[in-house]
Amino acid sequence: MQPACIMRTPGLLRRSSRFLFRSLRRTLDNGPAAVPGATNGQEVPSRALDHVSRPTSTGAGPEELEGKSVADLITERQLLAAFEQLRHLETRLVAEKASRTFEQDPTGFARRAMDVCLHYDALASEIDAIVNETLGPDGVDAAALAELAGVVRAEEEAHPEPPEDGDFLRTPRHWRQHWEDAVRRSAQERVRSAGPGEAPGAAEGGSALAQVLTELGSLVRRDLQKVQLEVHPVYAAAGFPAWETYLRAFHGAVAQRLQELAHNARGCEQLYVLLDWAANVYGSPDFLGAQNLALSSEPLPPLLAPDVWARLESEYTNFLETKIASCFDGILQLEQSRWADAEAPDVLQGRYHTPLSFDVHMLVAEHVKAAGAISKELEATTLQICARALGLFLPRFEKAFLESKAVNEPHLGANINACEELRTGLLARFPGSFKELEKPLVAATCDFQNRLLRGLQGDVQPLFRVLCTKAWLTQDVLQPLMDKVVAFAGHLERVASPWAQETLQEVHRYVVREYLAHVLGRRERFRGVERLTGSQKMGQDAQAIGNTFQGLGSEATWLGQAIPCVADILGETYKDDIQRHLETLIRSYPDIRRDHVLAILSLRRLGRRRNQRLLQHAQELLRAVVKAGGPRAAGGHVLFEEIEVPTSVDVLITCI
């Protein structure tokens, strides 16, 4: 009857039996030989191994230890002692075979050889059992590990190389490789025990998969810490590289489990959880939880094969593109709900504020940071996705807002501020990826600015109609217009400074331009005292306009001479000085045209020759301006170019 431990590895039994009968075939083929102490045809009983399976009744021999059989020693895990007995029996059996003792009894040799092989297999099976129990709940059996290491090394010393005659008894058992295989199987079983047997479905999202990976990480960390602190020192004393073996075994098992999870991973959350765990949890230097524990002194193979990693990143970015587009849809819906509720924008740090900029910054920063934690390549791809999505979002947002009922100064100012924050913030943080968005952001800001200006222009346009009328000569008709400008400028104080100043200067230019357009386009002319009064009135209006905009902070000082020059030409009593005023006007505003000069001269009743002389001189000045590069060369300011002058009878008379 064989010991129970022998039956643990039937594969080893079959392998040993195969070697045994192959060796026996060679022995029988060699033919009979004389056996000392035996005659031809005499049977030689094989009783030498009876004690292997049961204790003998006589005194202890070299095959026994305190009366214990090899099977008992294996059961008690005295592996080295059991191996020494088997080694002694093997040596004696090989010697008897060499002396042709078994020529007449090959069956006896087979029985004894089989018994030795079975007990070798039992030792190998016990190695499996010790490895399987090492990381179990009962703790580490240091004595068993020491016996395991000792018996493996003893077997390697006893069987360093295969014998030249192919004798299976002296063939190396490769127990070190057997031990490494057992460690790998143990690691695979341990890793598979973490989390559910199947990968979570897509409907469960990333939380279920994250739980599986958390359990997996905890188990691997706990087991490797146990190996490093308890198992490795015992093996190291016997010269066994247990740490590297266990580490690579667990690494391979984790890689296999992760490949299975990756195959079934679906959805943006699951894909990211998988990539993040592989890159930042398992790949972290402090994964084992102690600085003195290192993952490996040599590089380990990739946890995920490069093609699998590339596939996961590709699928993740595809899902991410849809998710980010959906996030921008949500941002637009939130803004539309605020517009529908007629909510006034908040004022933060003296500026109109909408959550738009904050939401976009958070959206981009969150996804870019998450992607950057996995790889630089994924970070760059995520930036491109965010930039494309924002580029598609801007025109939709602008169109939706301008078509809503919330178009007013506070909301327009808030949107201008939001676009400016996005432009400066995103370009400063991600200069390469969002550079192409600078133009769309500036274009959207300009559209909001133009809508803001059109609102003011619609309010003040009717107030210009009373200029250069009889009532204008005696009343302060400009004050209501300037009151609206001051109220409008109050909103600009809550707009980002570059756009607020630019808008204020544009309002300043608009007021001066419209004032001149009404002066030059009027059909009736003042004569005598009214002309002088009108000139004085224009001077007063010019001063009021200049003082108001200066008080508001406008930096468009170049507009200050336009109205006074026309007023001086209108009220100049010494006609020879009109040319001087005209020269000042043309040099200050090189965008003025001949039509404008004719309209200005038509305000006065000058003689034909004087008009011709002034027109000729003005044309020479205008040609000099064109030769010097035109209006754009003189600071790029535009004023008269946008003033349309109607052709009146007075202008025609002036031309003639």
pLDDT (tens digit per residue) in 591-608: 998 889 988 888 887 777
Confidence (pTM): 0.72
For Cα atoms 294, 298, 301, give the angle at the middle one, nearest 5 degrees: 105
- The C-alpha angle 227, 228, 229, rounded to 5 degrees, equals 95
Q: Tens digits of per-residue pLDDT, 144-176?
A: 998 898 889 888 888 888 777 666 677 788 888
pLDDT in tens, 385-438: 999 999 999 999 999 999 999 999 999 999 999 999 999 999 899 988 888 899
Q: CATH 1.10.357.70 spans which residues of the chain?
A: 475-655
Q: How far apart are CA 46 and CA 55, in angstroms?
A: 16
For residue 390, count CB atoms less than 10 angstroms from its CB and return exposed for 0-12, middle for 13-18, buried for 19 or more: buried
CA distance linking residue 224 with residue 209, whole number of Å: 22
Mean pLDDT (whole number) for 128-134: 92
Q: How many CB atoms lie within 10 A of CB 32?
A: 11
**Beta carbons within 10 angstroms of residue 91's beta carbon:** 13
> Encoding tokens for residue 448?
């909001």
- Give the phi and the psi of residue 353 in degrees, each rounded to 5: -135, 135
Helix, strand or coil for residue 494?
A: coil
| Coil vs helix vs strand at 266 | coil
Specify the pLDDT at position 524. 67
Q: Please write the tens of the pLDDT for every residue from 317-365.
A: 999 999 999 999 999 999 999 999 888 899 999 999 999 999 999 999 9
SS3 348: strand
Q: For the chain, what is the radius of gyration of the CA atoms? A: 49
Confidence of residue 200 (pLDDT cuts 50, 70, 90): low
For the segment 259-283, the average pLDDT, to the nearest whole number, is: 87
Residues 480-507: pLDDT tens digits? Answer: 999 999 999 999 999 998 999 999 999 9
Tokens 């431990």 label which residue?
Answer: 5
More confident residue, 212 or 12: 212
Token representation of residue 643: 């003033």
- For the chain, what is the mean pLDDT? 82
Q: How confident is the model at residue 70 (pLDDT cuts 50, 70, 90)?
A: confident
Residue 223: half-sphere exposure toward Cβ, Cα within 13 Å: 31
The predicted model gives 39-56 an average pLDDT of: 36
Quick one: how far is CA 465 from the chain centroid? 59
Closest by CA position to 595, among listed 648, 634, 636, 547: 648
Residue 251: name the closest of 300, 217, 292 by CA: 300
pLDDT value for 603: 82
Q: What is the pLDDT of residues 172-197, one digit of tens each?
A: 888 889 999 999 999 999 999 887 65
pLDDT value at 223 more than 90: yes
Higher per-residue pLDDT: 467 or 67: 467
* pLDDT beyond 80 at 103: no
The pair of structure tokens assigned to 468 is 């250069």
- Give the CA distances from residue 365 to residues 277, 299, 318, 372, 573, in Å, rounded to whole numbers and listed in that order: 20, 32, 18, 10, 69
More confident residue, 170 or 622: 622
State how far the alpha carbon of 105 is from the alpha carbons of 44, 167, 579, in Å.
6, 18, 143
**Residue 12: its pLDDT value, please?**
42
Tell me what pLDDT residue 507 has: 97
| pLDDT confidence of residue 14 | 42
Domain 314-451 has CATH 3.40.50.12280: no
Q: How far apart are the first and last CA of the chain?
A: 139
Q: Where are the alpha helices (DSSP H) in 475-522?
A: 478-492, 497-521
Burial 528-565, CB ≥16 within 10 A → b, else e = eeebeebbebbbebbeebbebbeebebebebbbbbbbb
Residues with Cβ within 8 Å of 488's Cβ and at least 6 positions away in sequence, in order, are 409, 456, 507
Per-residue confidence (pLDDT) for residue 77, from 0 to 100? 84
Cite the residue boundaries of each domain of the chain with CATH code 1.10.357.50.
314-451
At residue 26, the 3 state secondary structure works out as: helix
Q: Cα separation of 342 and 339, whole Å?
A: 5
CATH code, 475-655: 1.10.357.70
What is the pLDDT averaged over residues 114-123?
86
Structure tokens given for 263: 């195959």
Residue 286: is it exposed, middle or buried by C-beta count within 10 angstroms (0-12/13-18/19+)?
Answer: exposed
* Token pair 């009532």 in the structure block, residue: 471
641 neighbors 593 (Cβ within 8 angstroms): yes
